[in-house]
Structure 1
Amino acid sequence: MKKYLSKEFMFTVLNHEIFKYLVAGVLSTIVYTVIRINIYPILQNATISAIIANVLAIIFAFIINDTYVFAQKAMGRAERFIKFFLARLSTLVLDFGLAWLLVDTFPGIIGQFVHNDMNWVNAIATLIGQVLIMVTNYFISKLFIFKHKK
């Protein structure tokens, strides 16, 4: 009985929408972070790096959220993508603001802890922003975009 309950519990947890969203969010964050951290040394501009990484991560996040997390019908996908993209652009403003504030304008806030290494400043600012953005995006997606299950 204990073994059955444990398997049942794990199945429920692994199939729960919030768990799926967290997995999708972590994967999207990894995509975003890898792109931003690799583009920053080339461009030496956190805001442009953040914009490029965001656009690519938005496309990735939509695909995984539409098919895996919220299990949407194929019908209406284009409309959902437009809503999703516009909603994510609103959190892009948050990311852009944090990049501008913490990396481009006041790098010393984080820099004092990492010997003013700008690559580390950018990486830490990126992670701070992604946590805030992930929480915000879940509520936007759940309430306004992904409403119709398969």
Structure 2
Amino acid sequence: MKNLKQIIRTEVFKYLFFGVLTTLVYMIARLFLFEVFKQADLSAVLANAISIIFAFWTNDLYVFNQEREGWAKRFLKFTGARLFTLVLDLMLAIILVDKYPQIIGNFVGGNLSLVNAIETIFAQVLIIVLNYVISKLFVFTGKK
């Protein structure tokens, strides 16, 4: 039982480490793209595409230690799962940034860039948890 706990702790640590890196990639991309386009939904979509590729590569190789065989099928499952969380991310961006920015804006003087940044952080915490559960249970089920 000790080995199973150690494996789970190590896997969760690696997932969180690479999840933080993926989140940083996502957030930098999203905040940069928001400044360029001034559209939360477009920024979220493009940042998600960038982070999906980065996250798959790190999860497949380093977190879940998958064999090279079958990576295309895992990538499709992974992408499908991430598209699900993209929809959640988009819904939160549209609701909290585009439609009702005053919900967060009341706390930051109506600054739309800060509203977007706060919503981005909130959404990412929720998405990290969901992505781990989906990855563990449905995508990365094999080992090297």
Would you call these one fold, judging by a TM-score over 0.5? yes
Partner of residue 65, structure 2: 71
* Displacement after TM superposition at 1:148 (Å): 0.8
Matching of residue 97 in structure 1 with residue 91 in structure 2? yes
Show CA shifts across 1:64-84 (max 9, x none): 000000000000001100100
Matching residue of 2:135: 141
Q: Deviations over 1:97-147 (max 9, x none)?
A: 000000000001111111111111000000000000000000000000001
Residue 51 of structure 2 corresponds to which residue in structure 1?
Answer: 57
Unpaired runs of 5+ residues, structure 2, are 1-5
- Match for 1:131: what amino acid? V
Aligned to 2:18: 24
TM-score, length-scaled by structure 1: 0.90
Query: How far apart, in 2, do the equivalents of 1:80 and 1:67 lie?
Result: 12
Identify the residue that residue 8 of structure 1 maps to in structure 2.
none
For 1:7, the equivalent position in structure 2 comes to none
Bigger radius of gyration among the two: 1
- Backbone CA RMSD of aligned residues: 1.4
Partner letter of residue 46 of structure 1?
A
Q: After the TM superposition, list the runs of 4 or more consecutive aligned residues in structure 1 that deviate by more than 6 angstroms.
A: none
Structure 1 spans left out of the alignment, 5+ residues: 1-11
Q: Does 1:81 align with 2:53?
A: no
Output the TM-score relative to the length of structure 2. Answer: 0.93
Pairing 1:100-111 to 2, within 5 Å after superposition: 100-111=94-105
Per the alignment, in what secondary structure is the counterpart of residue 29 of structure 1?
A: helix
Whichever residue aligns with residue 97 of structure 1, its letter is M
